[in-house]
Structure 1
Amino acid sequence: MIHRMSRLVVALSASIALSSALAEEVQVAVAANFTAPIQAIASDFEKDTGHKLVAAFGATGQFYTQIKNGAPFEVFLAADDSTPAKLESEGDSLAGSRFTYAVGTLALWSAKDGYVDAKGEVLKKNQFKHLSIANPKAAPYGLAATQVLEKLNLSKAVAPKIVEGQNITQALQFVASGNAELGFVALSQVYKDGKITSGSAWIVPAELHDPIKQDALILNKGKDNPAAKALVEYLRGPKAAAVIKSYGYQL
């Protein structure tokens, strides 16, 4: 009996050691708009695969520069499709790994209840002092915001009132802190399970800006890391899809 017990302990120890050896970390560059969804996905990913996801958040354009300068990222979740396509064409990624993991939605948001109406008429009234957007040169949601203003013929009228965040998180913070009465943000930042989580918002119709297709790909530094491949597969699966949809993204 003692011999059987000791054999069982040895077998269990070997199994634990093997699973620990197979578990890897994956370094992921994540567009700021996808902060909440990836944090929710990360815990399930770790439970289901044993791999650990280590995320850094920022603007897509800034990540491009960092990746080109040798940053240790293994997977890139961008806020557009053009930046990953560029990295792919420049030989910085695993061939065939790029895919669209989400299609983003833009929202005009205020921290104040009732300040932003459901049709965005508050923009045309132009009675606010500051309008927050993300840097359109680095952040695709910022670029989409400028396209909306152009479509509505408001670019010149609101230009003196615009305050720019380095990324979409900072654009949101300007509004949340009261430094801007309203701002263009990613819907995912203020939305969960079918409703706006705080303040008031206009969900911007998709036809007012170019589609915000968000692509992911495995970078060269991650091509031999099983955790990188596991993450990309996981993002395509039903569990991740349910989380992504719950934050207002299309698939």
Structure 2
Amino acid sequence: MGIFAKAGTFLLFLFLIVSVASAGEIRVAVASNFVTTARVLAKEFSQQNNYRLLISFGSTGKLFTQISNGAPFDVFLSADVTRAKLLEEKGVAVAGSRFTYAIGKLTLWASGKSQQEKDCRAILRENKFRRLAIANPKTAPYGLAAQQTLQKMKLWNRLRTRLVRGENIGQTFHYVVTGNAQLGFVAVSQVRSVNQGLCRWDVPQTYHTPIEQQAVLLKKGVSNSAAQAFLGFLKSEIAKSIIKRAGYAV
């Protein structure tokens, strides 16, 4: 066998190795509120199928922009219906692949300890705080829900100057935990993992548009059988049980 033939065979061998290595990988864009739960799901899914999830997270709005501009994701776990539907309409996502995997829950929460039970709503209404953290309503569905809640309570205009806006719900939660904001509208799933808090008020879902979180298969993942298997797994009873335990409705 000549040197060029050997080189060609070697390159083909390398190509096959890379193809096999990447065939079981799924590139998933995940809304910030769901990243911890997504990692638990990824572990369970990988144990069942020997597939590997590569998770990237951020606000739903920013991930939507990245995907629209060609970011190489196979699956998008959005925190709303709007962006997942828009990707479908733009032809970036596979038509008919979109479904709701979780219903998010919003809570008003303050970190810290107290010997006496506090009322988060009273603290909010009576202005007994300096800063209130919410996610950016323009890019984060939980931020929009927080804005709608404040409008429902007729507090939006009065408290706008006290708002600290997180780029996503993860940053918003960080503001409250670190004390940069005394109160914050965060996801119930985030405070589930925290053993302490000064107060907590779970916002009635009638106060805001439902935080219906949808998954969709992207065109870049249409030939990835692992991506399709993961979306199927999200609909399983095992996955639903994990999602419920994390503080979501399904």
TM-score, normalised to structure 2, is: 0.88
Match of 1:51 in 2: 51
Match of 2:195 in 1: 197
Give deviations 1:157-208, integer Å, cap 9, x for gaps.
211110001000000011111100010011111115xxx6331311111000
How do residues 92-171 of structure 1 correspond to structure 2 at under 5 angstroms? Answer: 92-114=92-114, 117=118, 120-171=121-172
Displacement of 1:122: 2.0
2:229 maps to a residue whose letter is A
Give deviations 1:137-169, integer Å, cap 9, x for gaps.
000000000000000000122111100010000
Superposition RMSD in Å: 1.8
How do residues 1-251 of structure 1 correspond to structure 2 at under 5 angstroms? Answer: 24-114=24-114, 117=118, 120-191=121-192, 197-199=195-197, 200-251=199-250
Contact 2:79/2:141 (CA < 8 Å) preserved in 1? Answer: yes
Contact 2:108/2:120 (CA < 8 Å) preserved in 1? Answer: no
In structure 1, C-alpha distance between the alignment counterparts of 2:48 and 2:147, rounded to whole Å: 40
Displacement of 1:23: 5.7
Contact 1:24/1:51 (CA < 8 Å) preserved in 2? Answer: yes
Contact 2:107/2:186 (CA < 8 Å) preserved in 1? Answer: yes
- For structure 1, list consecutive stretches of 5 or more residues without a partner in the other structure: 1-16
The alignment partner of 2:76 has SS state of: strand
Cα separation, partners in 2 of 1:22 and 1:178, compared to 1, 3 Å: closer
Identity %: 45
Contact 2:23/2:224 (CA < 8 Å) preserved in 1? Answer: no
In structure 1, C-alpha distance between the alignment counterparts of 2:117 and 2:148, rounded to whole Å: 19
Cα separation, partners in 2 of 1:173 and 1:22, compared to 1, 3 Å: closer
The alignment partner of 2:144 has SS state of: helix
Q: Which moved more, 1:109-118 or 1:91-100?
A: 109-118
In structure 1, C-alpha distance between the alignment counterparts of 2:93 and 2:195, rounded to whole Å: 37
In structure 2, C-alpha distance between the alignment counterparts of 1:234 and 1:189, rounded to whole Å: 23
In structure 2, C-alpha distance between the alignment counterparts of 1:113 and 1:209, rounded to whole Å: 29
1:121 maps to a residue whose letter is A
Displacement of 1:123: 1.3
Displacement of 1:76: 0.2
1:39 maps to a residue whose letter is R
Displacement of 1:94: 1.4
Contact 1:149/1:155 (CA < 8 Å) preserved in 2? Answer: yes
Displacement of 1:110: 1.0
In structure 2, C-alpha distance between the alignment counterparts of 1:146 and 1:116, rounded to whole Å: 26
Contact 2:45/2:51 (CA < 8 Å) preserved in 1? Answer: yes
Q: Which moved more, 1:129-138 or 1:108-117?
A: 108-117
1:203 maps to a residue whose letter is D
In structure 2, C-alpha distance between the alignment counterparts of 1:231 and 1:118, rounded to whole Å: 41
Aligned residues: 230
TM-score, normalised to structure 1, is: 0.87
Cα separation, partners in 2 of 1:70 and 1:116, compared to 1, 3 Å: farther
The alignment partner of 1:215 has SS state of: strand
Contact 1:23/1:52 (CA < 8 Å) preserved in 2? Answer: no
Displacement of 1:21: 6.8
The alignment partner of 1:56 has SS state of: strand
